[in-house]
Amino acid sequence: MDRKKEIKTTGTLLRPIRVGQSAKVLEGEMLRETSLVVSIISLEESVVRFETENTLYTIIIDHEESARKRELIRYCHQLLEVS
C-alpha cells in the first residue's frame, strides 16, 4: 500500500471538519478544498490533524485570520439586519 501524501499548512477552517465531507481551509488568500475526510486524528485549539481519502493534513490554526473572518461574518450579519 502506498503512503499518503502529508500536508502541513497554516490556515483557517471555514467550517467544522466532519467525516464523509470535504474540509475547506483558507490559507492566506487561497482556498483549499480536500477530498472526503475519512478520520479526524486530533482537534486542538491550535492544531487540527485529519486524514482524507488521499492525504494526511496538519492544519496550524491562524488565530489572527480566524478573528478577521469572525469580524467579517459579524459585519455581514449586521448589514443583513439593517436591510
- In which band, very low, low, confident or very high, does the pLDDT at 66 lie, cut at 50, 70 and 90? low
d(CA 35, CA 53): 6
3-state secondary structure of 21: coil
pLDDT tens digits, residue range 68-77? 776 777 777 7
d(CA 45, CA 28): 19
CA distances from 22 to 35, 49, 55 (A): 5, 14, 12
At a CB cut-off of 8 Å and minimum separation 6, what does 48 contact? 13, 17, 40, 42, 57, 58, 59, 61
pLDDT tens digits, residue range 20-51? 999 999 888 888 999 999 999 999 989 999 99
